[in-house]
Structures are given as C-alpha cells and as structure tokens.
Structure 1
Amino acid sequence: MGEELEIELLLENLLNNSINASPKEEPIKVSIRKEKNDCLLTISNGGEKLSEAEIKKLCQPLTTSRPSGLGLGISIIESISEAHHAKVSFLPNSEGGLTVKIAFPLVESSRNA
C-alpha cells in the first residue's frame, strides 16, 4: 500500500542513479522480496568502490557526482521512503558500486475482494 506516483518517482530515481553511476556493461540488479514484516526492495549497481564517507556525502542534498545532476535524487528517495514509513540504507558493495535497500512495512489491505 502506498502512493502510486510517489513509489514510481522513487523507483525512477533509484534506477536512474544506478544506471548513471554504473559502467555501461555492468548489470543493475533489482529484487523485491518479503522479509519478516517488510517488503524489501534492493537495487545494486557496479562502479567505483565507495567509502562510507563518500556515501554520506552523496546522501547530502544538492550534492551530485554528475555534471548535469541537481543532487535531489537521493533526497527524493529518502523523503518518499520516510512518507511510507520505510527504512532506506545505502551500502557499499565489496567489488565496487552501491546497494540501496528500502524496507517498506507490510500492511493489510482494507480492500474488499
């Protein structure tokens, strides 16, 4: 359950960031699975090896590594996640690149079947 347009914007930002930060031949890995009481969305890409400090810097508003970027993508991701009571984490991959995990709490639908 969630605001469809906001979730679409979140996914678009996550995928665009992953594609733009990854070498062209490197695949983007996307998975969605149930984990305990959450719906866990994971997006992982390749690229340069990032330190914890570099990841924190990327998560600051108006910070971008792209010449044409505005630095709002991660702020949008965090804001939408917060609005949906989801926990977002940015983790460096051991081989390089970044994994973003968003854990959306599962809720029961009130729709009539």
Structure 2
Amino acid sequence: MTELRWTRNSTFHDGARNFRARGPGVYDVPEEAVEEYLDHRSGAWERPEETSDEEQSSDFPNDGADVDEDELAELLDGTIGEVENALETGEYDDILDEVETLEEDGEGRKGVFSAIDERREE
C-alpha cells in the first residue's frame, strides 16, 4: 500500500477496487491504483509531502469551481430524472464528488449514483 492524501471534503469511491476515501486525509491506497488516482480529473489526490496544512484548511477544495451547497441541495431535491438531466449538461462535472457526498448524506438514490458514475465515465 502507498499513502496518498485526498484533499476534498467529499467521498472518493473506487468500486472496482472496493476502496473509499471519506473526506480529507491520508489513505493507504492500492499500489496498482496510485498513478490512476494521482491522474484523477479532480486533482484531489496527491502525495502527502505535497500538501501544506494551510492548503488543507479550505472547505470543498474544487479546482476553482464554485460550490454552492444550497444550489446542490436544490438540485438533489429534484426527481432522479431531473438530476440526470442536470448532470448531463456537464455543469456539475468539476464537483461530482460533492454531489455524490450530498446524495449519500440525503436520500442515497441508486439512480442518482448511476448518473454520477456515467458522467465520470464520459
């Protein structure tokens, strides 16, 4: 195992490896996944020595995307179809981890998780 730091206040889930990182911190990740995680489009994985305490202190670090939790809550109040349509626009691509975390904390609908996974695959 290799230690990597997940910098976001969200959950990272790798279903293929049955691995989850819940919130910021240092995690032992599967050796074969290290480069894949470091290349993840979120940019939220890094080697522990690359992060200062100051960088970790911000809420929802997201590569410059503005995360409005009220807007996301409103999005997730919609039907599964409405959420799917909104995600298809690509507007939420930079913050899919946050959307996923809020859905996990809320209703936890399989259809929403599937829509999020589909966006990640595109």
Query: Shorter-chain TM-score: what band?
Result: under 0.3
Higher strand share: 1
TM-score of the two chains, using structure 1 as the length reference: 0.28
Relative contact order higher in (CA < 8 Å, ≥ 6 apart): 1
TM-score of the two chains, using structure 2 as the length reference: 0.26
